[in-house]
Amino acid sequence: MDTISSFLTSDHRACDVEFANLENAVASQDWEESQKQLEKFSTDLTHHFAMEETVMFPTFEEVTGMTQGPTMIMRMEHSQMRNILEDLKADIEKKDKNHFFGVSESLMMLMQQHNMKEEQMLYAMADMHLGSLVSKVIEDMKAI
Amino acid sequence: MFNQGLSLDQAPPINIPFRFFLSAPFFGVLMSFVFFFVPFNELSNQYSHFAIGLIHLFTLGILSMIIFGAMQQMMPVLAGAVIKKPKLFANIVHSSLVLGTLFLSFSFILGIKFLLHLAVLFLSIAFLTFFILSIKLLFNVKYLTSTVKAMRLFSIAGIITLCFGLYLAISHINLNFDENYYIFVFLHILFASFGFALLIIMGVSFQVIPMFYVALDFPKFIQNKTPLILFILLFISAVFFYFDINFLILKLAFVVLMISFSFYGLKSLNNRRRPVFDATLWYWKLSLSSLIIAMIIWLFDFFESSYILAIVFAFGFLYSLLQGMVYKIIPFLSWFHLSSKGYFKLPTIREFIDEKYIKIHFFIHFISIIFFVLSYFQNSFIYVAAVLFLASNILFFINCLNAIIKYTAIAKTNPMDLSAFK
C-alpha cells in the first residue's frame, strides 16, 4: 500500500529526473529542447506543489491543528522555487548558459534541502497523524 | 521540534558556521610552519612531541572545527534538532576549542607542560559542551534516518575519544606511562579516525552526495548498517587490544567497510545525473580515492613509519572532503539566508566564490599532498610541501572570506536595493 511518504517521495525523484533532463538540454545548448524541458519540469514541479498545497497540507493542518508550522514554511519555500523558475525561463530565452547554471544550482540546492525536510520529517509525520485518511489523501492527490 | 527545525529563524545565525569554517585554515597555516621548521625525523615519528602537537593542530583545529561548525547548521536541517541558545553555545565551543587546540599543540611543540593543564580544561569544555548537547538533542529526534543514526553514533564516539584523550593528557602531565598507555593511544586514534571522523562523514555523505550532485543513493545496506557495524567494531577492537589478541581480522573488517563506503560514494558521483562541472567534485573524488589508498597502506603496513598513512588519510581523505563541503555550504547558506530574507535579486550560488580560484586551490592542495608523500623518500621535499600547504590554506581562507564579504555587503542593504552586487 502507498504511503504519503512513498507516493510523494517518488514524485520528488521524478522531478529530479526532469530537472536533470533540463540541465542536459541546456548543457548541449539545444535551446528549443531546453524550452520544452523547462515547460515539462515546471509543469511537474508545480503539479507536485499543487498536490501538497491543495490536498495534503490542508488535511494535515486540519488533523493536527498546526497551521503556522511546517506546512507554512514549506509553502514559503514553494514560492521561492516558483520565483526561480521564472529566472530559468529568462536565461533560456536569453540563451545565457552560464547564468542558467548558476540559477539552476540555487534551485537544485533549495529543492534538495526542501525535499530532505519533507521526506525525513513532514511526510513521516503526515503518515503517522493522518492514519486512516492516508489512502483518501493519496487518491485526491492523484486526481489533481 | 519539527516546526522549529524547518524555520530559518531557528537555524543558527549564519556567522556561526562561518566563524568555525574561517578558523580552520588558520590552523593549517600554523601546521605549515611546524612542517617547515621541525626536523623531518621528528615529524614522521608519531610518538614524538612535535608529531603529537602537529596531529592535534589538524584533528582539533581543522577537523573538529569544521565538523562542529557544520553540525550546528546540519542538526536543525537534517535532524530537526534545534540548539536553543545558538550564539552562547557557539561562543563557548569555538573559543574553548581554539584555545584548547593552541594550548595542547604548543605544549607539545614547545615543551611547555603548564599549557597542557589549560588544554585539558578548555578542550573538556569544548567537547563536553558540544557532545552533551548533541547527544541530548539527537536522542530526542523522533523520525530516525540513517543520517540521524550516524550522528548519534558519532556523538558517542566523540565523547569516548575525548575520554581516551584526557587519560593520555593526564599521563603526560603526571609523566606516568603505565602498561595501558599504548593501548589507550591506539584506541584514541582508532575512535578519533573511525568513530569521530568517519561516522559523521559517512552519515553526512549519505545525504549530501545525492543532494548536492543529484546522484544515486548509497545502497540501503551501506546506509543502514555500515555506521553501526563500524561502531561495534570499535568496541571489539578495544577488547582485542586489552587482551592482546591478533588484530588482523578486525583490521580487514575495517578496511572492507571503508573501501565499500568509498566505492559506492565514487560510483554515486560518477553516475550523477547533473551534467554541470563542479570543482567540488574533484575534492570528493580525491577524498574517497585517498581513503581507499589509505586503507590499503594500513592493511599491508607498506611503510615502516605511519607518516604516509597519516598524510593520505588526514590531508588526502579528510581535508579534501572538508574543503569540498565548505565550498558547497558557504555559498548555499549565503544565498539561502539572503533569499529567505526577501532579497529580490541575488548573485547565483556559483557567483559567491569564483570557481577559478577553487580550482587553483585544489591544484595546490593536491600537489602539496604529493610533496608530503615524496618527503618520506627525499626529506628535503618537506620544505616544498610546507610552502604549498601554506599557500593552499591561505587561498582556502581567501576564497571563503570573499564569499562572506559578498554576503555581508548584500545583507547590509535594503532587500529591494540592487546596487550592492552590481
Question: How far away is chain B from the Cα of A90, in angstroms, using its nearest Cα?
Answer: 13
Burial class (CB in 10 A: 0-12, 13-18, 19+), B174: exposed
| CB-based contact A66 B348, cutoff 8 Å | no
Contact B143 A99 (CB under 8 A): no
Question: Do residues B344 and B415 lie in contact, with contact meaning Cβ atoms separated by under 8 Å?
Answer: yes
Q: Could you identify the residue written with the cell 509543469?
A: A43
Mutate to test the interface with A, among B349, B351, B353, B421 (most CBs of A within 10 A): B349
Cβ–Cβ < 8 Å for A110, A81 = yes
CATH number of residue A10's parent domain? 1.20.120.520
**Rounded mean pLDDT, A122-128:** 89
Q: Are B280 and B321 in contact (CB under 8 A)?
A: no
Coil, strand or helix: which one is B281? helix
| Residue among B23, B45, B7, B15 nearest B379 (CA) | B45
Residue range A101-123, pLDDT digits in tens = 989 988 988 898 888 888 877 89
Percent of chain B with pLDDT over 70: 96
Tell me what ipTM this predicted complex has: 0.77
Q: What is the pLDDT of residue B416?
A: 66
Residue A102 has its nearest CB partner, among B207, B336, B349, at B349
CB-based burial, A82-105: b 16+ in 10 Å, e otherwise: eebbebbeebbeeeebebbbbbbb
pTM of the model: 0.89
Condensed to tens digits (0 to 9), the pLDDT of residues A49-76 reads 999 999 999 999 999 888 877 899 899 8
How would residue B178 be classed by pLDDT, with cut points 50, 70 and 90?
Answer: confident
Q: Which one of B210, B276, B339 has the shortest CB-CB distance to A101?
A: B276
Burial of A15 (0-12, 13-18, 19+ CB in 10 A): middle
Residue B5 pLDDT > 50: no
Is A102 in contact with B143 (Cβ distance < 8 A)?
no
Instruction: Flag if A106 and B340 touch (Cβ within 8 Å).
Output: no
Could you read off the pLDDT of B142-170 as tens digits, one per residue?
777 777 888 999 999 999 999 999 999 99
Distance CA B157, CA B196 (A): 6
CB contact under 8 A, A73 and B77: no
Q: What is the extent of the structural domain holding A34?
A: 4-142
The span from the CA of A50 to the CA of A81, in Å, is 13
Question: CB contact, 8 Å: A113 with chain B?
Answer: yes
Q: Is residue B67 over pLDDT 60? A: yes
Average pLDDT over residues B393-418: 89
Q: With contacts defined as CB-CB under 8 Å, which chain A residues touch B340?
A: 76, 80
Tell me how close the Cα of A138 comes to any Cα of chain B, in angstroms: 21
- The structural domain count of chain A equals 1
Task: Write the burial class of residue B356 (CB in 10 Å: 0-12 exposed, 13-18 middle, 19+ buried).
Answer: exposed
Q: Is A14 on the interface with B (CB under 8 A)?
A: no
- Using the predicted structure, report yes or no on whether residue A15 has a pLDDT greater than 90: yes
- Provide the pLDDT for residue B81: 82
**Average pLDDT along chain A:** 91
Give the distance from residue B143's alpha carbon to the nearest chain A alpha carbon, in angstroms: 6
